[in-house]
Amino acid sequence: MSNTIPVYNDFGDTIMARQRPRIAIVARFAESTSVTRYEGIVTARRLAEAVWAAGGEPLTFLAVEGSDWSERLKGIDGVLMPGGADIDPRNYGQEPQSSELYGIDPMQDSVDISLVRHVIANGIPLLAICRGLQITNVALGGTLTQHMDNPHLHHVAPVTVESHANELGLSHPTVAASCYHHQAIDELADGLTVIARATEGHIEAVKIDSTAWAFGVQWHPEDNYDTEGGQLEIFERFVRAAS
Given the residues 130, 179, 182, 236, the one annotated as active site: 130
CB 79 within 8 A of CB 24: yes
Count Cβ atoms within 10 A of the Cβ of residue 38 and give its class: 0-12 exposed, 13-18 middle, 19 or more buried.
exposed
- Residues contacting residue 213 through CB under 8 Å, at least 6 positions apart: 125, 126, 167, 237, 238, 241, 242
Does 222 participate in catalysis according to the annotation? yes
Does 172 participate in catalysis according to the annotation? no
Q: What are phi and psi of 94, to 5 degrees?
A: -125, 155
Given the residues 118, 152, 179, 222, the one annotated as active site: 222
Q: Beta 203-208 vs 192-197: how paired, if at all? A: antiparallel
Does 220 participate in catalysis according to the annotation? yes
Look up residue 91 and give its DSSP letter.
G
Given the residues 118, 152, 181, 220, the one annotated as active site: 220
Q: For 72, left (φ over 0), alpha (ψ -120 to 50), or beta?
A: alpha
**Angle at the Cα of 190 from the Cα atoms of 185 and 193, rounded to 5 degrees:** 70
Give the residue numbers marked as catalytic.
130, 220, 222
